[in-house]
Structure 1
Amino acid sequence: SAAQAIRQRNQVADITLISAESAYPYYRPALSDLIVKDVTEQEFNLNPEAWYEQNNIQIILNTVVQGVNATDRVVNLGNKTQLAYDKLILATGSSNFIPRLKGIEATGVFSIKEKEDALALRAYAEGKDRAVIIGGGVLGLEAADALQELGLSVTVVEAMDRIMPRQLDPSASEFMSFILNNKGVDLRTGSSVEEILTKDGVVTGVKICQDVISADIVVVSVGVRANVEVARSAGLTINRGIVVNENMQTSNPHIYACGDVAEFEGVATNLWAPAIEQGKVAGKHAVGDVATFANKVEPLSLIAFGTEMFAVGTYPLENIEQYQILMNADPKTGNFKKLYFDRDRLVYGVLFKDITKANVLLNGIRQGHSCYTIMNKLFV
């Protein structure tokens, strides 16, 4: 999005994209789709390959950036070459956190972050019977759904006492667990994998407390960490991510950051929509336009196990009795709605199955609708 924003405003600037991956930029939220079905490049890529040539954008693939000399404004590439820049935009993303477990490097252990990861898992899953997913968040459940669709029996192991603990309130989490159980998923909450069991370097299962779960595949999905190594080499200010201002400028005014690697006002969203918006702001500002980014309440969605989930806002962790709560749950149809109000202001909501009014909920959160206003829109 940054390169596109630049080219729309400046037809002559030299633009170079550098990626360690072999694939052209693609729609990363659809990675789990690659595990179960063929997706054409036209469907998956953000732009056709010809678009880059047509817009005079040089793209360098399979190339690692080793560091940045911010004083000389030079990017050092892994192939020993250097590229000079006037403005530099860092969109280095994040990497999956990999716990230090015995057996973590065995054949059959996967963590899905890139296109090649998803394709490798799909190929390896052929002819396999059992999979264990470590992590009960959105990405873990997407992987579990994909592997079950391929015919594997699936166990999800979550260290917290319920699944999706950061996104769903307890009752919504319980409803999601009900859906998983009905779909035949073996759900183990409040449990941690102590060891990945192997034979001759190949996964055979996992050990949980005194229990052993057989597995041909283990997928690790326990969070991400911002890729800040390049930023550190440039001497930029780093907290959880690269600290940026509203223009997406870092502590060096010639260097910008956007996406998973950026942190604005203490927030690193790790979500697609704000990442795209940040890229646009960085690109516009880099060529002299006035452009600013503002944090907004962003929704989280999941399509898996025959249902759709949409959650937005922050549910209260304490003093719940001070909140007004509206809830409607129907296990037979799979429909679920729950809203939290703080002094008659909508602050959190979650929908299952029927999410046709997701935008009503999102706008209600962002605008702080009252109970009466939102009830007439969502509960009729």
Structure 2
Amino acid sequence: MAIDSGYKAEAVVIPAEHRWVCAVCGYVHQGTETPGCCPICGATPDLFELHPHTAPHDELIDFDQWTCLNCDYIHLGADPPLTCPVCGLPSDQFKPGRFIPAVTASSEEVLAIVIVGAGIAGVSAAESIRNASPSAVITVLSKEPELPYYRLNLTRYIAGELTVGNLNIHPQQWYQDNDINLCLATELRELDPDSKCLTLSDDQTLSYDRLILAMGAHPFVPPIPGIHRENVTTLRTIRDADAIIAQCRPGLPCAIIGGGVLGLETAGALVRRGVAVTLLEGFGWLMPLQLNQAAGKLLAGYAVGLGITVRTNVKIAQIDGDDRVRSIVLEGGESIPAELVIVTAGVRSNSWLLRRADIDVNQGVLVTDTLQTSREELFAAGDLAEHRGISYGTWAPAQFQGVIAGLNAIGKKTEFAGIPRSNTLKVLGLELYSIGLVQTKDGSYQSFELQNNGQYFHFMFHDGQLVGAILLGDMKLAAAIKNLIEKKSSCTDLLHSRPDVHEVITFIENS
């Protein structure tokens, strides 16, 4: 049985939407109502300001086109965006123009676009397609039964800060109002790029003109003896979070394997529920991919102050128990009590179906700057995609890639030039920001650091440019740092003056 592709000649009526802007961090949410909270900084709905669109979608009139002067990102609408979602430039850095859609609602060439995956990359792709094309037929497939949600807020859900409803990216009505066919609990089983046909988990088939792959990633589970015992779990979905919450009780001994961002945020959430958490990291300090040793050790001290037991430089020999986990045994024989074990050891892209379909895959699905795969009608975004050798695995790049993949799928060429990796902790209550390179590779790198009253600042320069930074305890410089790095601004004059760290901070503040 084939799913009706939904081709139709009548005009699609799309309601006017609003832009809700977080007054704290500037995050922009599109929809008829505010999100349950800001997915970036956690601000409550009352801290969002309404910026209405000044004109509805209408295929009978010209669209305004706005081009970013820095990165050439194209925005379609009556007004420029408040900030460029790719490079962060403000609205006054957009050049106006006119755009008449190449495909109208009456055309027989209406594009059927299927998006596989309903994380932030998939939903952002659907948003950008619908904003630019009222006539496109959009189908979004999600293997999860819940409405698409902010995955990065699962730890805040575990902590009790949010309800399930607060996690949703959009309410159910939003998909109906925007004529987006959202298929929940539907998984891709087979892809045939030659016939442009998908086989789904219920044996139905679905054809497409353009396909956006946003299937994300799955947790990496290291091959530790005993890893499959009961109550050893990962954290990737709402169902994972609910299973963890169901086990929580005051004093429950819990071990978390992996001292990265997710491990720390999970530990902080569980401590708030009274769980006795031991955080295990094989490296010499926490968050080794985002922090240097000094910052990692400061962070460990802060975590200990919250009641988290932190163990670094550990190697796990096995997970012991009977029908369920009882302890973790380290190399050397030490046993750590654990009735709940959560593995937060990174992710791997969900690329196996693409390999079978002869799509070029490395660690992720290989994409160009237009986010096209090795098949020009197939695009990839988010955790699944590998761009210029990088699989970002974080929320902001996934959102940006989704927007750009959506535009390219309808023929509006837009490029993703890459962005510096950045991380912000939200559950531990500590202001921590990490972006770009934070470890000196050789003598050509120059670094400055300051540690004072529990705060830590670290700045890395290379070839006259700021290439990385760490802020611990104070994030006031985060926006300026991000702007300097993304714009690749010259800092040559500053560095030639042989500054101290205070002068570097002043330079960044005034940039």
TM-score, normalising length: structure 2: 0.70
Separation in structure 2 between the aligned mates of residue 36 and residue 101 of structure 1, nearest angstrom = 28
Q: Counterparts in 2 of 1:1-380, with a 5 A limit?
A: 1-37=124-160, 39-126=162-249, 129-199=252-322, 201-209=323-331, 210-319=333-442, 322-330=444-452, 333-342=453-462, 344-366=464-486, 367-368=488-489, 370=491, 371=494, 374-377=504-507
Separation in structure 2 between the aligned mates of residue 137 and residue 242 of structure 1, nearest angstrom = 24
Structure with the higher fraction of residues in helix conformation: 1
Q: Deviations over 1:31-86 (max 9, x none)?
A: 11111216345531111110111111111111221110111111011111110111
Letter in 2 for 1:345: Q
Secondary structure, in 3 states, of the residue corresponding to 2:451? strand
Q: Is the CA contact 1:324–1:344 (under 8 Å) kept in the aligned structure 2?
A: no
Deviation of 1:13 after TM superposition, in Å, equals 2.2
Q: Deviations over 1:112-158 (max 9, x none)?
A: 01121112111121355211110010111111111111101111111
Task: Sort the Cα spacing of 1:153 and 1:377 in 2 relative to 1 into closer, same or farther, 3 A.
Answer: farther
**Root mean square deviation of aligned Cα:** 1.9
For structure 1, which runs of at least 5 residues remain unmatched after alignment? none
Q: Deviations over 1:215-255 (max 9, x none)?
A: 11111011110000221232200011111111111111111
Task: Sort the Cα spacing of 1:242 and 1:176 in 2 relative to 1 into closer, same or farther, 3 A.
Answer: same
Q: Is the CA contact 1:226–1:261 (under 8 Å) kept in the aligned structure 2?
A: yes
Separation in structure 1 between the aligned mates of residue 509 and residue 326 of structure 2, nearest angstrom = 48
Separation in structure 1 between the aligned mates of residue 245 and residue 304 of structure 2, nearest angstrom = 24
**Larger mean Cα displacement after TM superposition, 130-139 or 156-165:** 156-165
Separation in structure 2 between the aligned mates of residue 170 and residue 16 of structure 1, nearest angstrom = 46
For structure 2, which runs of at least 5 residues remain unmatched after alignment? 1-123
Secondary structure, in 3 states, of the residue corresponding to 2:139? strand
Task: Sort the Cα spacing of 1:344 and 1:254 in 2 relative to 1 into closer, same or farther, 3 A.
Answer: closer
Q: Is the CA contact 1:285–1:291 (under 8 Å) kept in the aligned structure 2?
A: yes
Secondary structure, in 3 states, of the residue corresponding to 2:228? coil
Q: Is the CA contact 1:364–1:374 (under 8 Å) kept in the aligned structure 2?
A: no
Separation in structure 2 between the aligned mates of residue 140 and residue 158 of structure 1, nearest angstrom = 9
Separation in structure 1 between the aligned mates of residue 508 and residue 370 of structure 2, nearest angstrom = 36
Separation in structure 2 between the aligned mates of residue 317 and residue 9 of structure 1, nearest angstrom = 43
Q: Is the CA contact 2:477–2:509 (under 8 Å) kept in the aligned structure 1?
A: no
Task: Sort the Cα spacing of 1:215 and 1:41 in 2 relative to 1 into closer, same or farther, 3 A.
Answer: closer
TM-score, normalising length: structure 1: 0.93
**Larger mean Cα displacement after TM superposition, 65-74 or 294-303:** 294-303
Separation in structure 2 between the aligned mates of residue 19 and residue 304 of structure 1, nearest angstrom = 27
Separation in structure 2 between the aligned mates of residue 291 and residue 344 of structure 1, nearest angstrom = 29
Higher RCO (CA < 8 A, seq sep 6+): 1
Separation in structure 1 between the aligned mates of residue 490 and residue 458 of structure 2, nearest angstrom = 15
Q: Is the CA contact 2:424–2:431 (under 8 Å) kept in the aligned structure 1?
A: yes
Deviation of 1:365 after TM superposition, in Å, equals 2.6
Q: Is the CA contact 2:156–2:162 (under 8 Å) kept in the aligned structure 1?
A: yes
Q: Is the CA contact 1:134–1:193 (under 8 Å) kept in the aligned structure 2?
A: no
Deviation of 1:377 after TM superposition, in Å, equals 4.5
Separation in structure 2 between the aligned mates of residue 205 and residue 53 of structure 1, nearest angstrom = 49
Separation in structure 2 between the aligned mates of residue 32 and residue 111 of structure 1, nearest angstrom = 12
